[in-house]
Homo-oligomer: A and B are copies of this chain.
Amino acid sequence: MFLRGAFRALALNRNLTPIAVRTFASKQREVPALTCDRYPVQRGSFAELTDDDVAVFRGILGGADTSRVLTAADEVQDYNIDYLRSVRGYGRVVLKPRSTTEVAELLRYCNERRLAVCPQGGNTGLVGGSVPVFDEVVLSLQLMDTIERIDEYSGIVVCQAGCVLATLEEQVGARGLVMPLDLGAKGSCHIGGNVSTNAGGLRLVRYGNLHGSVLGVEAVTAEGRVLDLMSNFKKDNTGYHLKHLFIGSEGTLGIITRLSMFCPTASRSVNVAFLGLHSYDDVKRTFLAAKRGLGEVLSSCEMIDAASLDSCTRFFGLQSPIDKYPFYMLIETSGSDAGHDEEKLARFLEQTMEQGLVQDGTVTNDSTKMKVNCISVNMITVFFFFDQFCVRIKSFLHLTLLRQPHSEHCILS
């Protein structure tokens, strides 16, 4: 009708593994070279770990229960290698505190002993920032995964930093809320790591960045001091807002141990459109038309160029749902009324096609029929069909294809 192929459901492609949980494939593949052999980095003058240190750690972390102080080489290895297996440290011990007090005690001791520490969340980062560069003590937040409170009235969740994003999403989802961020690694990344790295993700266009969503953090500084910057008040405008220093500072100012976050109301209806366009200028104008026409239901808007789509479809042996165009756009709406959302989307598509902005496209609102994943790294977005609706997995594929060199930052941090 008005849109060639609009509301034409896409054929399923069920040959791919569902959701990529970014946990380690470390045992199956070659061990990467040591970071310090591969890059010209110099170890700082920090102390070396002794058996006495390990004994102190065991004293702090449960004594007889040895599962919270790992020292066996094979157990420690996974924590020394990043997800992409491109860098490797040689840390000799992994500590797994359960509480802020334990984190504080550990850091106080390490600071006194001048032992370097590498805090680690889900170890899903793609820039090598989550593993030791040398023999740093790894402090993993894995066991700090308690969800303390979800308030359905205020939409606020209070939790420990080691909670897995997908678990939080599930828990707040059960109360009609949605986490304000979503990213490919959600199956294993920690909310504390998301906040520490100021993760953007797919919902940024709708819900803004974490500086707006995070209401408070509790953090422990390197010398073991606990900073209580927690707040459960969305409209709090008192005093200095020091919590923001911890959002995106990647553990350099301290380790986030707890946080409170505002969760918006979940949307009941989701539509996705995949469009073909002639030029970058048309992409820009279509983006503007989407912001105006779809307004409050626009929840995602991504651009994909022909080269990115080609490399991806070839790599996975997939088929584009529409003919070849120099540019593609993926537009997602989500709202509280499916009928209204569809009507807005149909009108938007009709208008943009009439104006010659959009050349072709396909749309669906049936989550069992269309499975779209988008992978975007460094401003390049590729996509493929996958067995989870609207779970877009950032970057690992593209990094595999293009092998970007690591930034100085990630190696030296």
Interface residues of A, Cβ cutoff 8 Å to B: 152-153, 155, 176, 197-200, 204, 208-209, 211-213, 234-235, 237-242, 244-245, 247-249, 253, 262, 265, 267-268, 284, 287-288, 291-297, 334-337, 340, 343-344
Q: Contact check, A267 vs B296: say whether CB atoms are below 8 A apart.
A: yes
Would you mind naming 14 contact pairs between A and B with Cβ atoms under 8 Å apart?
A153-B284, A153-B287, A155-B291, A197-B237, A204-B235, A208-B208, A208-B212, A212-B213, A239-B248, A240-B248, A241-B247, A241-B248, A265-B295, A340-B343
Residues of B within 8 A of A213 (CB): 208, 212
CA distance A63 to B135 in the complex (A): 63
CA distance A334 to B241 in the complex (A): 30
- Give A192 Cβ to nearest chain B Cβ, in Å: 15
Most buried by B among A199, A240, A253, A334: A240
Nearest neighbor of A298 in chain B, beta-carbon distance: B265
Residues of B within 8 A of A247 (CB): 241
Q: Contact check, B244 vs A245: say whether CB atoms are below 8 A apart.
A: yes
Partner pick for A344 among B155, B240, B244, B336, CB 8 A cutoff: B336
Most buried by B among A208, A235, A297: A208
CA distance A291 to B177 in the complex (A): 10
Apart from A208-B213, A241-B244, A337-B344, what 7 extra A-B contacts exist at CB < 8 Å? A153-B287, A176-B292, A198-B237, A211-B212, A265-B295, A296-B336, A297-B336
Most buried by B among A176, A244, A249, A262: A244
Residues of B within 8 A of A197 (CB): 237
Residues of B within 8 A of A297 (CB): 296, 336
Residues of B within 8 A of A268 (CB): 295
Residues of B within 8 A of A293 (CB): 336
Residues of B within 8 A of A249 (CB): 240
Residues of B within 8 A of A238 (CB): 248
Residues of B within 8 A of A240 (CB): 245, 248-249, 253
Q: What are the 6 closest A-B residue pairs judged by CB atoms, nearest first?
A: A212-B212, A295-B336, A244-B244, A198-B237, A296-B296, A340-B340
Q: Contact check, B336 vs A244: say whether CB atoms are below 8 A apart.
A: no
Partner pick for A337 among B155, B239, B336, B340, CB 8 A cutoff: B340
By secondary structure, the A interface counts as: loop
Q: Contact check, A336 vs B200: say whether CB atoms are below 8 A apart.
A: no
Nearest neighbor of A344 in chain B, beta-carbon distance: B337
Residues of B within 8 A of A292 (CB): 176, 265, 336
Residues of B within 8 A of A235 (CB): 200, 204, 209
Nearest neighbor of A201 in chain B, beta-carbon distance: B235
CA distance A240 to B211 in the complex (A): 12
Q: Contact check, A234 vs B209: say whether CB atoms are below 8 A apart.
A: yes
Nearest neighbor of A268 in chain B, beta-carbon distance: B295
Most buried by B among A204, A248, A287: A248
Q: Contact check, A237 vs B241: say whether CB atoms are below 8 A apart.
A: no
CA distance A212 to B340 in the complex (A): 28
Q: Contact check, B265 vs A335: say whether CB atoms are below 8 A apart.
A: no
Residues of B within 8 A of A335 (CB): 295-296
Q: Contact check, A267 vs B295: say whether CB atoms are below 8 A apart.
A: yes
Q: Contact check, B241 vs A288: say whether CB atoms are below 8 A apart.
A: no
Residues of B within 8 A of A245 (CB): 240-242, 244-245
Residues of B within 8 A of A155 (CB): 291
- Give A389 Cβ to nearest chain B Cβ, in Å: 19
CA distance A208 to B180 in the complex (A): 12
CA distance A83 to B204 in the complex (A): 38
Q: Contact check, A265 vs B291: say whether CB atoms are below 8 A apart.
A: yes
Residues of B within 8 A of A212 (CB): 208-209, 211-213
Nearest neighbor of A206 in chain B, beta-carbon distance: B296
Q: Contact check, A234 vs B204: say whether CB atoms are below 8 A apart.
A: yes
- Give A48 Cβ to nearest chain B Cβ, in Å: 30
